Chain A
Amino acid sequence: AQRVTQPEKLLSVFKGAPVELKCNYSYSGSPELFWYVQYSRQRLQLLLRHISRESIKGFTADLNKGETSFHLKKPFAQEEDSAMYYCALSDPGGNKLVFGAGTILRVKS
């Protein structure tokens, strides 16, 4: 069965500290992996996807097929990064996203 696990409900870090939001998945095959972000009072929006291999707002995520993980990282957290982050997967040509439960990131000054 397809499943996405985000083990942390809440991650609290100080400004300038490194951030790692964990995501593990269960899928037989080669899924596409995504990170979505929801800032306060805004709608859910795509942050990055593994096939793009790009860095958005300083965030990167590497797909590790051996560990079935897609952790989101940023070397220096900023206060404006505070938000809810969701990891998600889909079939390569798929039509639905499977979401994790989300992690709230709080960046303290």
Chain B
Amino acid sequence: NAGVMQNPRHLVRRRGQEARLRCSPMKGHSHVYWYRQLPEEGLKFMVYLQKENIIDESGMPKERFSAEFPKEGPSILRIQQVVRGDSAAYFCASSPPSGMNEQYFGPGTRLTVT
């Protein structure tokens, strides 16, 4: 089991471009969570998804950010019209249906907006 996979590991975007971050959960896991880590801060919850459903998006900024977890394929975190303040590490975690509080983390994607 390869664990939670995230790609790309590093992403550089110019202001105004779109950023797409991908997350493949562990085999057998149907719950995906996205967290953001700004410099010198802890991880902050963004969104919790199950297949084809957004369960909790209370941590998502109201504009420019969206997430999906389609029936087939990885979960995608999309940031439109990126700004310098979006520069951060974005972590994905997954959990099995039976143990929602046991989250397994991916290596993260470091987004740099120039």
Partners in one complex: yes
Q: A: which residues have CB within 8 A of B?
A: 4, 6, 32, 34, 36, 43-46, 49, 86, 90, 93-102
Q: Quote the shortest CB–CB distance from A47 to chain B (angstroms).
A: 12
Question: How far is it, in angstroms, between the C-alpha of A100 and the C-alpha of B43 when the chains are bound?
Answer: 8
Which 9 residue pairs across A and B have the least CB separation, nearest first? A99-B42, A96-B45, A44-B105, A99-B43, A101-B42, A95-B48, A43-B107, A43-B105, A100-B42
Q: Of all chain B residues, which has the CB nearest A4?
A: B42
Kindly name the residue among B33, B100, B101 whose own CB sees the greatest number of chain A CB atoms within 10 A.
B101
Residue B44, interface by CB 8 Å: yes
Residue B72, interface by CB 8 Å: no
Q: Considering only CB atoms and an 8 Å cut-off, how many residues of chain B contact the other chain?
A: 26
Residue B40, interface by CB 8 Å: yes
- Contacting residues, chain A, for B55 (C-beta < 8 A): 95
Give per-residue flags for B1-34: 1 if the beta carbon is below 8 A from chain A beta carbons, else 0: 0011000000000000000000000000001010
Q: Of all chain B residues, which has the CB nearest A9?
A: B40
Question: How far is it, in angstroms, between the C-alpha of A46 and the C-alpha of B105 when the chains are bound?
Answer: 9
Which listed residue, B59, B106, B107, B108, touches A96 by the CB 8 Å rule? B59
User: 8 interchain pairs (CB within 8 A)?
Assistant: A32-B101, A43-B3, A44-B43, A46-B103, A86-B43, A95-B31, A95-B55, A100-B42
CB pair B42 A43 closer than 8 Å: no
Which listed residue, B3, B41, B43, B107, touches A97 by the CB 8 Å rule? B43
**Known contacts A95-B55, A96-B33, A96-B59: A90-B44 contact under CB 8 Å:** no
Q: Of all chain B residues, which has the CB nearest A101?
A: B42
- Contacting residues, chain A, for B45 (C-beta < 8 A): 96-98
Question: How far is it, in angstroms, between the C-alpha of A43 and the C-alpha of B43 when the chains are bound?
Answer: 13
Residue B102, interface by CB 8 Å: yes
Question: How far is it, in angstroms, between the C-alpha of A95 and the C-alpha of B55 when the chains are bound?
Answer: 9
CB pair B100 A102 closer than 8 Å: no
- Contacting residues, chain B, for A100 (C-beta < 8 A): 42
